[in-house]
């Protein structure tokens, strides 16, 4: 009589190879997806920072339009600008000396993290 061997289970070698292949695939996927997931919020934060800077510049521009309409004097406009900006990161520079003119020109630089928005206002 002939002995019959029916294989109904996995051998130990097959199980070990399967575990090793799964582990290598897991490491590759984790490495790839880990950097994607951790850096996926950066574009959103960049847009948020830029939007905040533009919002401040728009507010200052509206005050400048009020100055042009006669609602503010130049000194009041400059004081209002200094009240709106963040003194820790933003700047107001007098650049009229560079232009050799009889009127004053200020440069306003609004910075939020790595993004800056700059504009000039003339008296």
**Residue 107 pLDDT > 70, yes or no?**
yes
Band the pLDDT of 57: cuts 50, 70, 90: very high
- The residues pairing with 92 across neighbouring beta strands, listed in sequence order, are 108
Closest CA to 92 of 54, 64, 59, 118: 118
For residue 6, the model assigns a pLDDT of 65
- State residue 59's pLDDT score: 93
Mean pLDDT of 24-39: 84
Entry pTM = 0.66
Residues 6+ apart with CB under 8 A from 45: 113
8 Å CB contact between 90 and 110 = yes
Distance CA(7)–CA(47), nearest Å, equals 61
């Amino acid at each position: 009589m002939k002995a019959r061997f029916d294989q109904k289970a996995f051998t130990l070698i097959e199980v070990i190879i399967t575990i090793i292949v799964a582990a290598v695939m897991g490491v590759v996927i984790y490495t790839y997806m880990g950097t994607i997931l951790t850096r996926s919020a950066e574009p959103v934060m960049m847009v948020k920072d830029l939007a905040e800077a533009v919002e401040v510049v728009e507010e200052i521009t509206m005050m400048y339009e009020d100055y042009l309409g006669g609602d503010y004097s130049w000194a009041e406009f400059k004081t209002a600008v200094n009240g709106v900006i963040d003194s820790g990161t933003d700047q107001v520079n007098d650049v009229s000396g560079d232009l050799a003119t009889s009127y004053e020109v200020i440069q306003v630089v609004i910075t939020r993290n790595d993004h800056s928005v700059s504009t000039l206002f003339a008296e």
